[in-house]
């Protein structure tokens, strides 16, 4: 977004909750805590449950991994995903 572009209006899912994270951010972290039975199930749940494309979902998730509020909200999930991300980066 540039200075000349208007900001998108905040929907209820973007309003920060008590922990400082939006409802959508908390839903993304909750999605990562779940186990998935097979290929495609998670992507289907992302589209149907969150109304996001998988690409947008993973962009949001990547930003959450660097957010101290996300770490405070769900340290187990965030630290697990950070380890996975760091391992993938080391392999490159």
Separation of alpha carbons 90 and 70, rounded Å: 23
Separation of alpha carbons 60 and 56, rounded Å: 6
pLDDT value at residue 33: 94
Residue 39 CA, distance from chain mean position: 19
Q: Smallest Cα–Cα separation from 72: which of 17, 13, 31?
A: 17
Q: What is the pTM of this model?
A: 0.75
Domain spans of the chain, in order of start: 19-33+40-91
Q: Smallest Cα–Cα separation from 77: which of 88, 67, 65, 87?
A: 65
Per-residue pLDDT tens over the stretch 26-53: 999 999 999 888 879 999 999 999 999 9
């Amino acid at each position: 977004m540039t200075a000349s572009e208007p900001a998108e209006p905040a929907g209820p899912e973007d309003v920060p909750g008590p922990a400082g994270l939006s409802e959508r951010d908390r839903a993304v972290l909750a999605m990562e805590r779940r186990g998935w039975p097979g290929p495609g199930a998670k992507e289907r749940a992302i589209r149907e449950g969150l109304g996001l494309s998988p690409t947008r979902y993973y962009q949001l998730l990547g930003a959450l991994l660097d957010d101290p509020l996300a770490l405070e909200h769900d340290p187990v999930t965030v630290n697990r995903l950070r380890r996975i991300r760091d391992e993938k980066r080391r392999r490159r």
